[in-house]
Chain A
Amino acid sequence: MTEFLNATFKVDYPGFALDVDLKLPASGITVVFGPSGSGKTTLLRCLAGLEKSGTMEIAGEVWQNENTFIPVNQRAIGMVFQESRLFPHLNVRNNLLYGYKRTPVDSRRLHLEAVMHVLALENLMERGIENLSGGEKQRVALGRALLTSPKLLLMDEPLAALDAQRKTEIIPFIRKIEKELSIPIIYVTHSMSEVLQLVDTMVILKEGKVVKWGPVGKVFADIQLRDAIGDQHSGAVLDTTVLEHDTEFGITRLDFMGQELSVPLQKIPVGQGLRVHIHSKDVSLATQPPDGLTSVLNILKTKVKAIGENAGYSVDIELDAGRPLLATITRKSLSNLSLQPGQPIYAFIKAIRMVHENENILID
């Protein structure tokens, strides 16, 4: 049975208001995404009990309603912020143990040994905080939060202050926490690459309101959400499985809903999952399969699902390839193809971006 987190919050500040009604799975990683000022941090503060407002219930446990309010220090939450917020007067070990010591003995599910191991902190334990790198600090902060045995982990742009190299160091740890320790994570960010790498469920926030929430693939491909997601990231997120490696041509073949996609050779075992991002501008449409030869390797059979409204020269088409896929074409092409919802169509994919790497790889 899936457990849920239900919450309604209403916060009114001069010049800013948050008004949300959420129902999220209390498992996996949920990303709250939105431009700055959209209320992401305030939402996290509400969940943490740092703002008194509204109602909240997690996995059947009431944390706050009209009559109840569990204060922040009695909530089973862990918080990780953009800055590590480690206590400078304590060394790594004592920072890690700060929350552990304050967790009732019978609520302690995670212990120092395990957390130290998961986050590879063994060699840092006796160090002072000032002698840690930015990435190490975040790992310690993560460990400190975990050692309170939280039922919910709240992360507020935890990677924003790190460079790309450090980010790729931390992301696997976050995945590992979610998988191995099965602690649901609510993760606030405005970085699309973090969204793509981490997220299962996505909440888009704009001006203090939830614009859309749902599984990432669905949210991403929603043509209504172009503004919220941003032009440069508009497109589809597809979860594929590695089928086979073709070392002769340096290609890895992926299975996507029974169809095949080819990408440059990946160092990922066969059968393992790979998430890819396909930009809507990298998808062209054709009513017929190519009768001659084409240099395009990746062609998916799809159906037109919806046609977006776009006043400019281009228009977004939502396609159904088993999962949603987005294409941006010119209005001229739209007219030439005379597309109708339900119509079968071939999607020619010019570029596929592997989400586990931070680079764009083109295949023609």
Chain B
Amino acid sequence: MDISSLDSGPIWLTLQLASVTVMILLAIGTPMAWWLAHTRSKMRVGMEAVVALPLVLPPTVLGFYLLILLGPNGWIGGPVKALTGAPLSFTFTGLVFASTLYSLPFVVQPLQSNFESIGSTPMETAESLGASRWDAFFSVILPLSRRGYLTATVLGFAHTLGEFGVVLMVGGNIPEKTKVISIEIYDRVEVLEYTQAHILSAGLLLFSFIILLTVYSINKKLPVHVS
């Protein structure tokens, strides 16, 4: 067994990617989920479908369009290249962008159902007691949403950990920049280094299991707030 040939680079890169992606997703997912949970707009159904798209699309399809979008001639990659000299495709930033889209439903959907189950009464109650909407969100809604945020964070993180198709299409396979664990595993299998593939796969399996286990046990201890 040649464990020393195992590079820790992809592992760190993967964790970095997942962490950054989840933070971005929580920031943009919260207003999206809030809007979806409370709007009476007709656009809601369309928005929900768009958010859910990454669930059903083959990652290669999403990756393909992102590659074009982020590439040197793409709507996003083009201006970025003009500004910085390089497009977004095959960069870590490009990967973050892609992962954010790819994992969007895993964060937005739990948050949306969380906000829906809380309903509009706690917000109205807080407002009737003199709180502004922002104040009410941070002092009442957020503390009541601990479970929802925990679920969203873990699902978003775990899902980003395991992505493969989108990363391959958008990021390629550049060590230290875009080579994440799932791609490293694929590489090792290609060259028949099953031992390394085993170690990485088992590691990812164990890690994912431990995260989920932790979440579910914390979730059980958190009080359920039923209004």
Query: Which one of B89-97, B124-132, B183-191 contacts A?
Result: B124-132
Q: Does B140 contact A (CB under 8 A)?
A: yes
B135 pairs with A102, CB closer than 8 A: yes
**Chain B residues with Cβ under 8 A from A88's Cβ?**
144, 223, 225, 227
**Minimum distance in angstroms from A146 CB to a CB of chain B:** 11
A74 to B127, CA, bound (A): 8
0 or 1 for each of A63-96: is its CB under 8 Å from B? (1 = yes): 0000000011110011101010101110000000
B144 pairs with A89, CB closer than 8 A: yes
Partner of B132, one of A48, A73, A79, A144: A73
Q: Does B122 contact A (CB under 8 A)?
A: yes
Q: Does A302 contact B (CB under 8 A)?
A: no
A48 to B124, CA, bound (A): 10
**Minimum distance in angstroms from B173 CB to a CB of chain A:** 47
Q: Does A98 contact B (CB under 8 A)?
A: yes
**Minimum distance in angstroms from B11 CB to a CB of chain A:** 37
A193 to B223, CA, bound (A): 38
B130 pairs with A99, CB closer than 8 A: yes
B223 pairs with A98, CB closer than 8 A: no
Q: How large is the interface on A (under 10, 10 to 19, 20 to 34, 35 or more residues)?
A: 20 to 34
**Minimum distance in angstroms from A302 CB to a CB of chain B:** 46
**Minimum distance in angstroms from A74 CB to a CB of chain B:** 8
A148 pairs with B129, CB closer than 8 A: yes
**Minimum distance in angstroms from A233 CB to a CB of chain B:** 31
Interface residues of B in 135-171 (CB under 8 A from A): 135-136, 139-140, 143-144
**Chain A residues with Cβ under 8 A from B121's Cβ?**
81, 85
Q: Does A270 contact B (CB under 8 A)?
A: no
**Minimum distance in angstroms from B40 CB to a CB of chain A:** 12
A208 to B132, CA, bound (A): 30
A295 to B66, CA, bound (A): 95
A81 to B139, CA, bound (A): 20
Q: Assuming A88-B227, A89-B225, is B140 touching A77 (CB within 8 A)? A: no
Residue of A nearest to B129 (CB): A99
B122 pairs with A85, CB closer than 8 A: yes
Q: Does A103 contact B (CB under 8 A)?
A: yes
A77 to B129, CA, bound (A): 8
**Minimum distance in angstroms from A140 CB to a CB of chain B:** 13
B130 pairs with A85, CB closer than 8 A: no
Q: Does A120 contact B (CB under 8 A)?
A: no
A77 to B125, CA, bound (A): 11
A77 pairs with B128, CB closer than 8 A: yes
B144 pairs with A73, CB closer than 8 A: no
**Chain B residues with Cβ under 8 A from A74's Cβ?**
130
B131 pairs with A73, CB closer than 8 A: yes
B122 pairs with A73, CB closer than 8 A: no
A328 to B169, CA, bound (A): 86
| A and B contact pairs by CB, cutoff 8 A, 19 listed | A48-B128, A72-B124, A73-B127, A73-B128, A73-B132, A73-B133, A74-B130, A79-B125, A83-B227, A85-B122, A85-B227, A88-B223, A89-B140, A89-B225, A99-B130, A102-B129, A102-B131, A102-B135, A148-B130
Which residues of A approach B to under 8 Å, CB–CB?
A: 48, 50, 71-74, 77-79, 81, 83, 85, 87-89, 98-99, 102-103, 130, 144-145, 148
Known contacts A87-B144, A89-B140; can you find 7 more A-B pairs with CB under 8 A? Answer: A74-B130, A83-B227, A85-B121, A89-B225, A99-B129, A102-B130, A130-B223
